[in-house]
Structure 1
Amino acid sequence: MSSRVVPPSTRFKAVTLREYWEVYESSVGGLEVFWAREAGRLLWRKPWEAVRVGEGPGSRWFVGGELSPYENIVLRHSGTWVWRKPALVWEDEAGEARVVTYAQLDQMISRIAGGLRSLGVQRGDWVVVYSPPSVEAVAAMLAAVRLGAPFEPVFTGFSARELARRLRRRGAKVLVAADGFLRRGRPVRTLEAAREAMASAGTGARLVVVERLGCSLREGELSFDDLLSAGGEPGSAAVPSDHPLFGLHSGYESDFEPITHPAGGFLVQVYATTRWMGLRPRDTYFCTVWPGWITGVAYVVFGPLIVGSAVLLYEGGPDWPSWGRWLELIDSYAVTVFLTTSSALRMMARQDPSLLKGNLDTLKAVLVTAEPLEREVWEWAYTRLANLSIPVVDSAGRGTVPVVNLYIQSEVGTFVTGNLLNYTFPPVAPGSAGPPIPGFHVDVVDGEGRSVRGSPGRLVLRAPWPSMPVE
Structure 2
Amino acid sequence: MQFPDLTLWTPDKARVARAPLTALARRAGVSDYDALHRLSIEDPAGYWRHVLDHLAIEWLAPYRTFCEHAPDAAHPRWFVGGRINWVHNALRWAHDPRHADRAALICETEDGRIDTLSYAALDLQVRGFAGGLRALGVERGDRVGLMLPMGMQAVTAFLAVSALGAICVPLFTGFGADAIASRLELAGAGVLIAADGFRRRGRSVEAASAINEAASRLPLLEHVVVVPGGGPAIEGAFTTRHWEELASAGPVADFEAMDPNNPFMVVFTSGTTGAPKGTVHVHGGFPFKIAHDTAFHFEVQQGDVWCWPSDMGWIVGPITTVGALTAGATLLCYDGAPDFPDWSRFAAMIGRHRVTHFGASPTLIRSLAANEALSTRGDLRSLRVLMAAGEVLDPDHFEWFFRSIGGGALPLINYTGGTEASGAILANVPVRAIKASAFNSASPGVHAFAADEAGRRTVGAPGELTIAAPFVGMTQSFWQADERYMEAYWQAVPGCWTHGDLVHEDHEGHFFVLGRSDDTLKVAGKRLGPAEVESVVLAALPLRDAAAIGLPDALKGQKLVVLLQPQDGTADKDMASLAERAGRAIEHALGKPFRPAAVYCVPDLPRTRNGKVMRRVIRRVLTGQLPGDLSSLGNPEALAAIRQLANAG
Q: Same fold (TM over 0.5)?
A: yes
2:15 counterpart residue number: 12
Give SS of 2:99's match. Answer: helix
Deviation at 1:239, TM superposition (A): 0.6
8 Å Cα contact 2:369-2:375 kept in structure 1: no
1:289 corresponds to 2:295:
no
2:165 matched residue in structure 1? 148
Report if aligned partners of 2:365, 2:401 keep a CA contact under 8 Å in 1.
yes
For 1:355 and 1:428, the matched residues in 2 are separated by 24
For the pair 1:226 / 2:245, whether they are aligned, the reply is: yes
Give the letter aligned to residue 146 of structure 1: A
* C-alpha distance 9-97 of structure 1, shift in aligned 2 (>3 A): farther
Pairwise CA RMSD of aligned residues? Answer: 2.2
Equivalent AA in structure 2 for residue 290 of structure 1? D
Give 1:394's aligned residue.
Answer: none
The answer to which of 262-271 and 33-42 deviates more is 33-42
Q: Does structure 2 conserve the Cα–Cα contact (< 8 Å) formed by 1:69 and 1:238?
A: no
| SS at 2:66 equivalent | strand
CA contact under 8 A between 1:53 and 1:63: conserved in structure 2?
yes
1-side partners of 2:422 and 2:125: how far apart?
27
Residue 49 of structure 1, aligned match among 64, 68, 89: 64
1:279 alignment partner, one of 300, 303, 310? 300
Name the structure 2 match of 1:336. 356
Alpha-carbon distance in 2 for matches of 1:464, 1:83: 37
Q: Is the 8 A contact 1:372 1:432 kept in 2?
A: no
Rounded to whole Å, the distance in 2 between the matches of 1:19 and 1:79 is: 33
Residue 192 of structure 1, CA deviation: 1.8
Task: Kindly state the Cα deviation for residue 85 of structure 1 after the two structures are TM-superposed.
Answer: 0.8
Which residue, 179, 182, 185 being the options, matches 1:162? 179
Partner of 2:15, secondary structure, is coil
Three-state SS of the structure 1 residue aligned to 2:284 is helix
Question: What's 2:143 paired with?
Answer: 126
* Greater CA drift, 228-237 or 29-38: 228-237
Question: Structure 1 residues 9 and 313 mapped into 2: Cα distance closer, same or farther (>3 Å)?
Answer: farther
**Alignment correspondent of 1:393:** none
Q: State whether residues 295 and 408 of structure 1, in contact with CA within 8 Å, keep that contact through their aligned partners in structure 2.
A: no
Q: Is the 8 A contact 2:94 2:123 kept in 1?
A: no
Q: Counterparts in 2 of 1:225-374, with a 5 A limit? A: 225-251=244-270, 253-254=273-274, 256-276=276-296, 277-298=298-319, 300-354=320-374, 356-374=376-394
2:410 matched residue in structure 1? 401
Identical amino acids, percent of aligned pairs? 29
Rounded Cα–Cα distance in structure 2 between residues aligned with 1:121 and 1:96? 32
* Segment of structure 1 superposing worse, 43-52 or 330-339: 43-52
Cα gap change, 1:232/1:377 in structure 2, threshold over 3 Å: closer, same or farther?
closer
- Give the Cα–Cα distance (whole angstroms) in 2 for the partners of residues 282 and 10 of structure 1: 25
Cα gap change, 1:304 to 1:405, in 2 (>3 Å): same
Report the CA distance shift for 1:161/1:111 in structure 2 as closer, same or farther (over 3 A): same
Cα 1:463/1:355, change in 2 over 3 Å: closer
State whether residues 376 and 405 of structure 2, in contact with CA within 8 Å, keep that contact through their aligned partners in structure 1.
Answer: no
Aligned counterpart in structure 2 of residue 469 of structure 1, from 472, 475, 484: 475
Q: 1:10 and 1:411 mapped to 2: Cα distance?
A: 35
Q: Is the 8 A contact 1:87 1:100 kept in 2?
A: yes
Q: Does 1:410 pair with 2:419?
A: yes
Quote the Cα distance in structure 2 between the aligned partners of 1:207 and 1:428. Answer: 47
Post-superposition CA distance 1:86-120 (Å, at most 9, x none): 11111111111111111111111111001100110
* 3-state SS, counterpart of residue 316 of structure 2: helix
Counterpart residue identity of residue 279, structure 1 = V
**Structure with the larger RCO, 1 or 2 (CA within 8 Å, 6+ apart):** 1
**CA distance, structure 2, for counterparts of residue 322 and residue 114 of structure 1:** 41
Moved more, 85-94 or 51-60: 51-60
Q: CA deviation at 1:218?
A: 4.2
| Alpha-carbon distance in structure 1 between the residues aligned to 2:194 and 2:369 | 34
Stretch of structure 1 that moved more, 247-256 or 110-119: 247-256
Say which SS state the counterpart of residue 459 (structure 1) adopts.
strand
- Find the aligned partners of 2:449 and 2:126 in 1 and give their Cα distance: 41
2-11 vs 37-46, greater mean Cα deviation: 2-11
Distance apart, 1:36 and its partner CA: 2.7
- Mapped to 1, the partners of 2:201 and 2:74 lie a distance apart of 43
User: SS of 1:38's equivalent?
Assistant: helix
- Match of residue 39, structure 1, among 23, 45, 52: 52
- Matches for 1:16-165 after TM superposition, within 5 Å: 19-40=32-53, 41-54=56-69, 55-165=72-182
- Note if contact 2:342-2:374 (Cα within 8 Å) is conserved in structure 1: no
5+ residue gaps, structure 2, are 23-30, 478-649
Q: Distance in 2 between matches of 1:317 and 1:232?
A: 34
Using the alignment, how far apart are the partners of 2:394 and 2:51 within structure 1? 33
The whole-number CA distance in structure 2 between the counterparts of 1:150 and 1:137 is: 15
- Rounded Cα–Cα distance in structure 1 between residues aligned with 2:39 and 2:248: 52
Give the whole-Å Cα distance in 1 for the aligned partners of 2:191 and 2:285.
26
